[in-house]
């Protein structure tokens, strides 16, 4: 009877998490963030190309890394977008949905991770932890976008859940191996993080793992890991394996960086992922990767975070504490060694141990305070968090950050569609590359795109790091405007208000054809017809 | 029983090294000599208090003096007054909100959410308090001159050598839970809250925190070194 009641309560709790999660992760998914970023258009159009032709935008058959613009992204997310594009068509929702779903599912994984920890004193803390997780700005921002980090995070969380369970049920080591290995095909950070976590786990829990009775499972897991890593091993020596070496923070040491300086630099970057200012008050410094006025956690979470750190320190001899401290120590490393001061997309794996620490703090509060105090307290903070989220994410972000998210390219595609007889020259001296967004919104046939743009890259696919923004397909050309030549050809020049000023237009007798503004009323694109005569 | 230095020599040596081996105290020395004396005295008393030797009254005396000097030397910044740029942003944001209303029968009740969030002085004050608080509790401010997230328009300077951070961390984590240090940490919380209230726009930054960092780093360092020595001697 009691068991049935517990199951019922658990089902209700999971349903509540799912309902809150579905609303937050899927509400206006195709509209917010407004616009469509190049990093979303790349997997979107490549999934479309792979679906229709079995080849990516350059004509490469099912590549192991996707070259994109020389970034050689791990392929899993793009391949996962294919069924969504097949069933929903090529649109923004189809590209963002798998990522949003991954974010939602990671809420459930966090629930089971907390439940299986047997660390929390109150069962309710598990539910509170998962519900606060699904409204955390960090996971929401990186799930409601069409790129890979939330998928990698989901796989990483699953891997960690099974890794933890493997201490009592050794068979789970096989599942842990599969998910952790898969996560390395989803995002860069996991490619470097997973080996560290595996080695760290093996060292910390060596007495349990290397028992005689576990050796067979260990051997099978190792074999699975090795086999599943063969694609990586095959490409290990190609430039495609480590294309973002330029992001490595210390490669350009020029004498100023003495050894002491390097230690200080790396420690400061590492410590920033534990800093209350960065975690609870300041957004990611890159406005495209952040929510206005909102950090990765809500400010009130600082209190349970500090209490949680204290709890884990006090109970540091327990296995779960060791595991969480290990994750806390290792997860910021891949992000800390890049140049960005606080890269929330690369540091997304930090979210797992950080939320566990916060939940441990919440658990302590519930344990110490009476129901009539903590219940209204958490109800209030939950409501306050939702209001802050609504203000920053659903009101301010779609207006103020539209331009950064590639707003206006779909409107530009519409203008191009209306004028199939005219040629368009799109200036890219001041904007991010738009070629792939245009191919996406125009649903340009992939076989034609491959034919017109893929030459030269297909044959040296895994070593063509350099990106050239000059593209020519259909009636579109993307590059910087050469004023001495381009005004003498009959075409439409497209750029923002700084690229083509009103004075320049008058001087060169250009005729304004269209104007596209962002939600703040700023000009994103202006099209001018040349007048060669 | 673990290995331990005789008496408190190690702790005192560490306190001396930390107290005079940082950049902040010498900046205080050149900026304002009485503050320098105050910080040295408060640090020694804070350390003795943690060690169970100092009197709460003496510590509180220095505490009040430090808070007073911090307040007197800090340029007052309003929590509610908006500058031109803030006004532009506020006006822009007021336009971004959708109309929020509740319909009861034929009556429409308009809710001025935009004004509550962007226009009301209380909200502006809360955001600024949170910002001030975040600056004061950031370990990177004290050990890395706020690197890699330096503030715009603030000339950041090195305060403590970064190698002291592990000492400070161990010091704080090993003492924070004990009832014995309740008053000590309570005074730290009060200082942090006061600094959030009147900011730290000051040539020396939030120097009222200084005695806490030095005393906790000395305590943490002592524990770490004792542990390390104990480990080394045990393995021999």
Interface test with A, best of B124, B149, B164, B174 (most A CBs within 10 A): B149
In a domain, B71, yes or no: yes
Over residues B144-164, the mean pLDDT reads 92
Q: State both tokens at B68.
A: 């007073």
- Which DSSP state fits B179? G
In a domain, B60, yes or no: yes
pLDDT in tens, A325-367: 999 999 999 999 888 899 999 999 999 999 999 999 999 999 9
Over residues A94-117, the mean pLDDT reads 98
Task: Please give the residue range of the domain that contains residue B131.
Answer: 9-217
In a domain, B225, yes or no: no
**Residues B108-137: b if buried by 16+ CB within 10 A, e if exposed:** eeeeebbeebbeeeeebeeebebbbbbbbb
Q: B165 — contact with chain A (CB < 8 Å)?
A: yes
Q: Is A426 in a helix, a strand, or coil? A: strand
Q: Is the distance from CB of A264 to CB of A249 less than 8 angstroms?
A: no
In a domain, B64, yes or no: yes
| Sheet strands (E) in A8-119 | none
Nearest to A478 by CA among A499, A462, A451: A499
| Residues of chain A found within 8 Å of residue B117, distances taken between Cβ atoms | 391
Q: Is the distance from CB of A492 to CB of A419 less than 8 angstroms?
A: yes
| Residues of chain B found within 8 Å of residue A256, distances taken between Cβ atoms | none
Separation between Cα atoms, residue A265 and residue A271, nearest integer Å: 10
In a domain, B190, yes or no: yes
Angstroms from B129 CA to nearest CA on chain A? 11
Separation between Cα atoms, residue B219 and residue A233, nearest integer Å: 49
Q: Is A340 in a helix, a strand, or coil? A: coil
Q: Is B211 in a helix, a strand, or coil? A: helix
Separation between Cα atoms, residue A210 and residue A98, nearest integer Å: 38
In a domain, B50, yes or no: yes
Length of chain B counted residue by residue: 236
Give the pairing type, strands B101-104 and B107-110. antiparallel
CB-CB under 8 Å, A391 with B134: no
pLDDT in tens, A433-476: 899 999 999 999 999 999 988 778 888 899 988 888 899 999 99
pLDDT in tens, A232-254: 999 999 999 887 666 665 544 55
| Residues of chain B found within 8 Å of residue A400, distances taken between Cβ atoms | 92, 96
Separation between Cα atoms, residue B224 and residue B11, nearest integer Å: 11
CB-CB under 8 Å, B143 with A271: yes
Cβ-based burial of A446 (10 A; exposed 0-12, middle 13-18, buried ≥19): buried
Tokens 């190309």 locate to A49
Mean pLDDT of chain A: 94
Interface test with B, best of A249, A272, A399 (most B CBs within 10 A): A272
Residues 494-533 of A with CB under 8 A from B: 520
**pLDDT beyond 90 at B183:** no
Nearest neighbour of B148 by CB, restricted to A263, A272, A280: A272
Over residues A382-390, the mean pLDDT reads 97
Nearest to B171 by CA among B42, B58, B43: B43
Q: Which residue of B has its CA nearest to A269?
A: B148
Q: Is the distance from CB of A322 to CB of A204 less than 8 angstroms?
A: yes
pLDDT in tens, A63-94: 999 999 889 999 999 999 999 999 999 999 99
Residues 6+ apart with CB under 8 A from B108: B101, B102
Please tell me the total count of domains within chain B.
1
Q: B116 — contact with chain A (CB < 8 Å)?
A: no
Cis peptide before A212 (omega within 30 of 0): no
**Alpha carbons within 13 A on the beta-carbon side of A157:** 31
Nearest neighbour of B137 by CB, restricted to A263, A277, A285: A277
Mean pLDDT of chain B: 91
In a domain, B222, yes or no: no
pLDDT value of position A337? 87
pLDDT in tens, B18-47: 999 999 999 999 999 999 999 999 999 999
Q: At what angle do helices A149-165 and A188-204 cross, to 10 degrees?
A: 10
Nearest to A349 by CA among A132, A186, A108: A186
In a domain, B210, yes or no: yes
Nearest to B213 by CA among B194, B195, B188: B188
Interface test with B, best of A34, A264, A265 (most B CBs within 10 A): A264
CB-CB under 8 Å, B177 with A314: yes
pLDDT value of position A242? 84
| Residues of chain A found within 8 Å of residue B143, distances taken between Cβ atoms | 268, 271
Residues 224-283 of A with CB under 8 A from B: 263-265, 267-269, 271-272, 274-278, 280-282
Q: B100 — contact with chain A (CB < 8 Å)?
A: no
Cis peptide before A33 (omega within 30 of 0): yes
CB-CB under 8 Å, A341 with B149: yes
Strand partners, A477: A425, A472
pLDDT value of position B1? 44
């Amino acid at each position: 009877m009691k068991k049935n009641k517990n199951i019922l309560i658990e089902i209700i709790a999971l349903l509540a998490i799912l309902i809150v999660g579905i609303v937050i992760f899927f509400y206006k998914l195709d509209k917010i963030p407004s616009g469509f970023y190049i990093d979303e258009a790349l997997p979107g159009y490549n999934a479309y190309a792979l679906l229709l032709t079995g080849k990516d935008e350059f004509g490469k058959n099912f590549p192991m890394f996707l070259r994109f613009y020389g970034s050689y992204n791990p392929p899993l997310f793009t391949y996962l977008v294919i069924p969504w594009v097949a069933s929903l068509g090529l649109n923004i929702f189809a590209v963002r949905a798998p990522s949003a779903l991954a974010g939602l599912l990671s809420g459930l994984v966090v629930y089971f991770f907390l439940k299986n920890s047997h660390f929390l004193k109150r069962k309710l803390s598990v539910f509170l932890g998962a519900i606060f997780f699904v409204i955390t700005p960090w996971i929401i921002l990186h799930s409601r976008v069409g790129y890979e980090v939330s998928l990698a995070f989901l796989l990483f969380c699953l891997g960690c859940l099974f890794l933890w369970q493997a201490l009592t049920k050794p068979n789970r080591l096989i599942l842990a191996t599969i998910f952790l290995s898969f996560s390395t095909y989803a995002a860069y950070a996991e490619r470097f993080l997973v080996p560290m976590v595996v080695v760290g786990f093996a060292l910390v829990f060596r007495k349990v793992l290397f028992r005689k009775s576990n050796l067979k499972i260990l051997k099978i897991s190792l074999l699975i890991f090795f086999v599943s890593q063969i694609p990586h091993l095959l490409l290990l020596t190609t430039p495609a394996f480590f294309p973002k070496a330029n992001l490595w923070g210390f490669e350009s040491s020029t004498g100023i960086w003495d050894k002491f300086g390097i230690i200080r630099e790396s420690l400061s970057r590492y410590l920033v992922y534990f800093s209350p200012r960065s975690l609870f008050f300041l957004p990611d410094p890159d406005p495209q990767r952040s929510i206005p006025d909102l950090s990765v956690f809500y400010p009130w979470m600082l209190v349970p975070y500090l209490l949680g750190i204290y709890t884990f320190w006090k109970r540091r001899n327990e296995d779960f504490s060791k595991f969480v401290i290990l994750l806390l120590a290792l997860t910021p490393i891949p992000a800390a060694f890049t140049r960005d001061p606080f890269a929330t997309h690369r540091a997304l794996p930090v979210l797992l141990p950080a939320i566990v620490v916060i939940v441990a703090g919440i658990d302590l509060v519930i344990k110490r305070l009476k129901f009539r105090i903590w219940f209204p307290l958490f109800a209030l903070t939950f409501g306050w968090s939702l209001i802050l989220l609504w203000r920053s994410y659903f009101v301010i972000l779609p207006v103020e950050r539209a331009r950064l998210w590639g707003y206006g390219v779909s409107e530009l595609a519409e203008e191009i569609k209306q004028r199939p007889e005219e040629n368009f020259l799109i200036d890219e001296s001041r904007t991010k590359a738009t070629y792939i967004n245009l191919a996406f919104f125009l649903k340009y046939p992939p076989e034609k795109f491959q034919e017109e743009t893929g030459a030269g890259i297909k044959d040296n696919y895994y070593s063509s790091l350099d990106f050239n923004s000059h593209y020519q397909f259909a009636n579109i050309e993307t590059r910087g405007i050469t004023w001495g030549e381009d005004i003498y050809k009959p075409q439409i020049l497209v750029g923002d208000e700084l690229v083509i000023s009103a004075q320049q237009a008058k001087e060169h007798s250009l005729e304004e054809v269209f104007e596209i503004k962002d939600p703040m009323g700023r000009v994103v694109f202006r099209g001018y017809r040349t007048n060669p005569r | 029983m673990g290995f331990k230095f005789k008496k408190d020599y190690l702790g005192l040596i560490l306190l001396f090294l930390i107290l005079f081996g940082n950049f902040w105290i010498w900046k205080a020395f050149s900026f304002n000599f009485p503050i320098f004396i105050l910080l040295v005295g408060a640090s020694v008393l804070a350390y003795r208090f943690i060690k169970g030797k100092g009197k709460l009254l003496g510590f509180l005396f220095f505490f009040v003096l430090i808070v007073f000097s911090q307040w007197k030397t800090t340029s007052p910044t309003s929590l509610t007054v908006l500058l031109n740029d803030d006004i532009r942003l506020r006006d822009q944001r007021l336009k971004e909100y959708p109309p929020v209303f509740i319909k009861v029968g034929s009556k429409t009740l308009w809710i001025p959410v935009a004004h509550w969030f962007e226009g009301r002085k209380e909200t502006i004050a809360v955001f600024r308090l949170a910002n001030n608080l975040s600056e004061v509790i950031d370990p990177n401010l004290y050990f890395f001159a706020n690197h890699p997230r330096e503030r715009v328009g603030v000339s950041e300077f090195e305060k403590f050598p970064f190698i002291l951070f592990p000492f400070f961390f161990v010091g704080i984590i090993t003492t924070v839970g004990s009832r014995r240090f309740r008053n000590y940490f309570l005074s730290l919380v009060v200082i942090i809250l006061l600094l959030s209230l009147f900011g730290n726009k000051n040539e020396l930054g939030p120097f009222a925190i200084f005695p806490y960092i030095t005393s906790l780093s000395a305590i943490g360092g002592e524990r770490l070194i004792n542990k390390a020595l104990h480990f080394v001697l045990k393995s021999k």
